[in-house]
Amino acid sequence: MWRRRRRERDDWFDEFFGREFEMFDEIIERMMRDFDELFRRATSGEFKPIIRGFSVRIGPDGKPEIREFGTKPPIREDIEERKPLIDVIETDDEIQVIAEMPGVNKEDIELNASETSLEIKAEGESRKYYEVVSLPAEVIPDSARARYNNGVLEVLLKKKYPKKEEKKRIKID
Q: What is the DSSP string of 66-127?
A: EEEEEEPPPSBTTBEEEEPEEEEEE-SSEEEEEEE-TT--GGGEEEEE-SSEEEEEEE-SSE
Q: What is the DSSP letter of 47?
A: -
169 found inside a domain: no
Using CA atoms, how far apart are residues 62 and 145, in angstroms rounded to an integer?
A: 29
Give the mean pLDDT of the chain: 79
Do 86 and 37 belong to one domain? no
Q: What does the pLDDT average to over 145-156? A: 94
Q: What are the residues whose beta carbons fall under 8 Å from the beta carbon of 137, sequence distance 6 or more?
A: 90, 95, 159, 160, 161
Do 64 and 121 belong to one domain? no
Domain extent for 41: 1-71
User: Is residue 75 over pLDDT 60?
Assistant: no
Q: What does the pLDDT average to over 79-92? A: 83
Q: What does the pLDDT average to over 97-104? A: 91
Return the CATH number at 103. Answer: 2.60.40.790
Amino acid type, 169: R
Do 52 and 101 belong to one domain? no
Q: What are the residues whose beta carbons fall under 8 Å from the beta carbon of 12, sequence distance 6 or more?
A: none
